[in-house]
Amino acid sequence: MALLEAQNLEKNYADGTRALRGASFSIEKGEFVAIIGPSGSGKSTLLHILGFLDHESSGVYRYDGKRADDFEDKEIAVVRNEKFGFIFQAFNLLGKMSVYENVRLPLLYSGTPEAEWDEKIRKAIRSVGLEERTDHDAAKLSGGEKQRVAIARALVNNPQVIFADEPTGNLDSASGGAVMKIIAGLHEAGHTIILITHETYTAEYADRIIKIKDGLVESDEKVLHKNTARDNFQK
Amino acid sequence: MRLRYSLQTAINGLRDHKSRSLLTILGIVIGITSIIAVMSLGQGAQDLILGEISGLGGNTVVIRPGREPEGPTDIASTIFGDSLKARDLVQLQRKSNVPALTDLMPIVIVSGSASYRGETYQPDIIGGSAEFFANSFDIFPEEGVLFTESEIRARATVAVIGAKVKKELFGESSAVGESIAIKDKKFKVVGVLPDKGQVAFLNFNNMIILPYTTAQSYLVGTNYYNEIIVKLESTDAVARSVTDIEETLRQSHNISDPSKDDFYVVTQQGLVDQIKTIINVLTVFLSSVVAIALVVGGVGVMNIMLVSVTERTREIGLRKALGASTSDILTQFLLEAILLTLIGGVIGIILGASISYAAALVLSNVFLLNWSFTFPIGAAILGVAVSIIVGLIFGIYPARQASRKSPIEALRYE
């Protein structure tokens, strides 16, 4: 059974825009899938639906065999909290909070016993190499560091799937490379990764690339010359 | 989300906008301050008045003309009532009619000023019996004597004056034997009361006591009394004597139907109940007026919370993406609103109590009233409860707005 399964997903916005026109594919547990396409192709909309941040207008989306429509609001919150981790292009950190507090955010809404929080937070921060910055204000970090904090936050609840929406979009090539290496490392550690990007080179960190054009799947192929966590990142 | 962290988030939210938060709670502070001050001062007034009443003694009852006041027209009938007359005194004093009666005194209230050699003063002029006052309130002249029953019967133009009246009209010189003018009529001062301040409603310092017969004949020109004060053998005799008095006066006034009574008898307990009712009604009325300030404050809180929700749209979206449920967001913003109003409430309670404490100091030290400060614990609890309720009522709408935001629309918000 596929972990994520999309069947004829369509998404129409109130202003008449048809972001998705019937996208279908499935993703297995442990895969690293890049969804690429030009701006406006519907790739971000697709990620939002897959990540339970938005609803499809028609078609069927199943997570772990269960239709998205059958999840109640509270269950959706639990899935977002415990099963999914999000990395956004704009980082979306709370600037007035410290690195530690930002990484702690998902734990506030989880059932994890409070006694385990500190260890989990520090482990996540360590895994992105920011232990020196633990008590710094998030607002004072560089772009690359901010994205690493966002990755630590996505990781802290050890989610099954990590959704990364243009994670290198706001970064210089060195920082972007570092971020992609961390994401590739997460895949190697067993996480399922869904990466949205418009950069072919970034997409080549994945095992599989789904090309989206005009709201439809244009191609769905395995990557032959895969970048790895050890490769240098170049734009 | 655990309550501790919800609370911490709410506190952080307020701390990030200190001046805005302070200005927002101002309305709540004003509202709660006023409620606490009104209730505390109301309690002080009640304690003062009830203390004064108890000074009268439980065996004293008061007969008043008109109907027992239940509304403004009844109060008017009491003020302008002319049903209590000399024949009633005779009937009441008959042992067979009211066996427990030991003494009585009709009261005639005179309005006007008193003058002596060009000095004019506005005292409280009461026609009554100087001996009755002296015995009832234990206040005897420090100079001169009281006027007697025979002087009352003779409608003598004599007066006993209070310490302040003496000082205003005579200064340091002696008043006894001198004549003062009230409404162009000369009255000989026979006694000066000591400086005793307020005793049971009555400020003897500011009083001129004349024989009630003289007041009726020469000053007000009426043949009725404003009230009759009756002293009974004991407190136990009050209930029975009230019935005796009522039956005697009905007979005297030819009334067969008690609902048509043109007088009523006020016992000390009745007076206490009446005054409590009046003060409570006044307190509730004033508090209701003040509650408007709270509503205005609440609207201010709602307004600022709506601004805060809009400002933090992206944060709401992020929290939802990270697993916050609708109720988590609702709780967070509701707690923030309640925290705002609660802080306002606590400041209001402290300010309100301080104001009534200061008022108590002024009233007792400057106006020499027997006024004591009472911290209204009931009002303080009410203040806390009201501020929480205001926070709940005016916070629920912005909090619902926040909790209903779609995470992705919120994250896209610029």
pLDDT computed for residue B31 by the predictor: 87
Beta bridge pairs of residue A164: A87, A195
Residue A17 is encoded by which pair of tokens? 């825009």
Decide if B320 and A108 are in contact by the 8 Å CB cutoff.
Answer: no
Task: Please check whether residue B314 is in contact with residue B411, taking contact to mean a CB–CB distance below 8 angstroms.
Answer: yes
How many helices (H) and strands (E) chain B has is answered by 14, 14
pLDDT computed for residue A235 by the predictor: 40
Q: What is the mean pLDDT of residues A158-184?
A: 91
Decide if B322 and A81 are in contact by the 8 Å CB cutoff.
Answer: yes
DSSP string, B222-283: -SB-SEEEEEES-GGGHHHHHHHHHHHHHHHTT--SGGG-SEEEE-HHHHHHHHHHHHHHHH
pLDDT tens, A32-64?
A: 999 999 888 999 899 999 999 999 999 999 999
Q: Which of A11, A17, A47, A53 to mutate to test the interface with B (most CBs of B within 10 A)?
A: A53
Cα–Cα distance for residue pair A198/A195, rounded to 1 Å: 10
- The whole-chain average pLDDT of chain A stands at 90
Query: How many CA atoms are closer than 13 Å to the CA of A19, on its beta-carbon side?
Result: 20
Neighbours of A99 (CB within 10 A): 28
Neighbours of A160 (CB within 10 A): 18
Q: Which of A109, A156, A163 to mutate to test the interface with B (most CBs of B within 10 A)?
A: A109
Residue A81 is encoded by which pair of tokens? 């909290």
pLDDT tens-digit profile, chain B (414 residues): 678 888 888 888 888 888 888 888 888 898 889 888 888 888 888 777 777 666 666 788 889 988 776 666 666 666 667 889 889 999 999 999 999 999 999 999 998 899 998 889 999 999 999 888 888 888 899 999 999 999 999 999 999 999 999 999 999 889 999 999 998 899 999 999 998 766 666 788 899 999 999 999 989 888 899 999 999 888 788 889 999 999 999 999 999 888 888 899 988 777 777 777 888 888 788 878 877 878 888 888 898 889 988 888 889 999 999 999 999 999 999 999 999 899 999 999 999 999 989 998 888 888 777 787 877 788 788 888 888 998 899 999 999 988 988 888 888 776
Which of A126-135, A155-164, B16-25 has the lowest average pLDDT?
Answer: B16-25
pLDDT computed for residue B56 by the predictor: 66
Whether residue A139 lies within 8 A of chain B, CB to CB, comes out as no
- CA nearest to B189, candidates B245, B146, B142: B146
Cα–Cα distance for residue pair B139/B194, rounded to 1 Å: 7
Q: Which of A54, A96, A105 has its CB closest to that of B322?
A: A105
pLDDT at A228 over 70: no
Dihedral angle computed from the Cα positions of residues B32, B34, B38 and B41, in that order, rounded to the nearest 10 degrees: 100
B-proximal residues of A, 109-138, CB under 8 Å: 109-110, 114
pLDDT tens, A89-119?
A: 889 999 889 999 999 999 999 989 999 999 9
B-proximal residues of A, 82-101, CB under 8 Å: 82, 86, 88, 92, 94, 96
Task: Please check whether residue B114 is in contact with residue B103, taking contact to mean a CB–CB distance below 8 angstroms.
Answer: no
Cβ contacts of A90 within 8 Å, gap of 6 or more: A170
DSSP string, B82-95: ---BHHHHHHHH-T
Task: Please check whether residue B98 is in contact with residue B115, taking contact to mean a CB–CB distance below 8 angstroms.
Answer: no
Whether residue A158 lies within 8 A of chain B, CB to CB, comes out as no
Q: Which residues of B touch A (CB under 8 A)?
A: 1-2, 5, 12, 16, 314-315, 318-326, 328, 406-408, 411
The whole-angstrom distance between B409's CA and the closest CA on chain A is: 9
Q: Which of B7, B15, B322 to mutate to test the interface with A (most CBs of A within 10 A)?
A: B322
Task: Please check whether residue B232 is in contact with residue B102, taking contact to mean a CB–CB distance below 8 angstroms.
Answer: yes
pLDDT computed for residue B281 by the predictor: 84
Kind of pairing between the strands at A208-213 and B202-203: unpaired
The band of A204, judged by pLDDT with boundaries at 50, 70 and 90, is confident
ipTM: 0.91
Q: Which of A98, A108, A149, A166 to mutate to test the interface with B (most CBs of B within 10 A)?
A: A108
Residues of A in contact with B18 (CB under 8 A): none
pLDDT computed for residue B193 by the predictor: 92
Residues of A in contact with B16 (CB under 8 A): 96
Residues of A in contact with B323 (CB under 8 A): 77-78, 80-82, 106, 109-110, 157
Task: Please check whether residue B39 is in contact with residue B386, taking contact to mean a CB–CB distance below 8 angstroms.
Answer: no
Cα–Cα distance for residue pair B310/B301, rounded to 1 Å: 14
pLDDT computed for residue A234 by the predictor: 45
Greater model confidence, B82 or A77: A77
Name the closest residue on chain B to residue A157, using Cα atoms: B322
The whole-angstrom distance between B309's CA and the closest CA on chain A is: 15
Cα–Cα distance for residue pair A53/B408, rounded to 1 Å: 6
pLDDT computed for residue B269 by the predictor: 74
pLDDT computed for residue B188 by the predictor: 94
pLDDT computed for residue A110 by the predictor: 92
Cα–Cα distance for residue pair A195/A202, rounded to 1 Å: 9
Residues of B in contact with A47 (CB under 8 A): none
Decide if B318 and A81 are in contact by the 8 Å CB cutoff.
Answer: no
pTM: 0.68
Amino acid at B254: N
